[in-house]
Amino acid sequence: MFDYVSKNTDKFLLLARGQMSVFPVADAKKSVIYNTIEYEVDTPVYGLKTAPYKLINISNYIPQKGLAELLDALKLLPQTQFSLDAYGNISDPDFYNSIVAKAKETSNVQIHEAINGAVKFERLKQAQLFICPSHNEGFPLVLLEAMSVGLPIVTTKVGFIEEMLGSDYPLYCEPNSATSLAQAINQFFELENKQELSERIKHLYHAKFSRLVHKQVLNQIFDIEN
């Protein structure tokens, strides 16, 4: 079936450059078009503040998203340095209940239900650091949303995240490691050029992942005149 499809299809659209070498089709038929987000919002200059920093996590409440390690990591940091708000769909009720119980061990962690649309972007704009400690990912749109508002990110290198942020991004951590995660968050706390990192992330979004770039790449792939 795949042989038939590959022979009778002119173009295959891949969502990451890392898929080029593993997708078994001639390179001439393959094009990369990065995902983009549903809509974009105007954002002011990154809200640089001194501690306590507002940390944010947005994901489904499942073990693979690394929230349990995040809560353990926060116990290793000075409690006066931060607060955390986590938002997500309750995909695994047992895990969600365990997270709620673990969060009660500290006074500066709040667990919330899912948010979307304008409310999500408002919460992102109010934060100083987005944390994505996933064990596995593909090309997470929530990171694009954080990037679009210039929000610094602590994350793992799983999936295609390294392709999104670059190999030289300074705030990576190891998956399944509360210690590594705590070190990366603390590195953010001590970072002198937070504003510079914010501008770098926002520029990267607009250069590679914005809705405008997405449209331009589509037009180029299908030879559509603007």
Question: What are the tens digits of pLDDT across the range 172-208?
Answer: 999 999 999 999 999 999 999 999 999 999 999 999 9
Which pLDDT does position 225 carry in this prediction?
Answer: 63
Domains of the chain: 2-39+208-221 (no CATH), 53-202 (3.40.50.2000)
- Cβ neighbours around 219 below 10 Å, total: 12
- Give per-residue burial for 104-117: e unless 16+ CB within 10 Å, then b: eeeeebebeeebee
- DSSP letter assigned to residue 23: S
Question: pLDDT tens for residues 65-75?
Answer: 999 999 999 99
Q: CA–CA separation, 41 vs 147, rounded Å?
A: 12
Helix pair 93-103, 67-74: axis angle to 10 deg = 10
Q: How far apart are CA 143 and CA 130, in angstroms?
A: 8
In eight-state DSSP terms, residue 58 is: E
Spatial separation of the C-alpha atoms in residues 108 and 88, rounded to whole Å: 18
Retrieve residue 160's tokens. 């295609």
Q: Is the pLDDT reported for residue 120 higher than 80?
A: yes
What share of the chain in percent tops pLDDT 90?
Answer: 77
- Residue 201: how many other CB atoms lie within 10 Å: 24
At 162-171, the pLDDT tens digits run 999 999 999 9
The label of the residue with tokens 């999500």 reads 120
Residue with tokens 């940390």: 55
Mean pLDDT, the chain, integer = 93
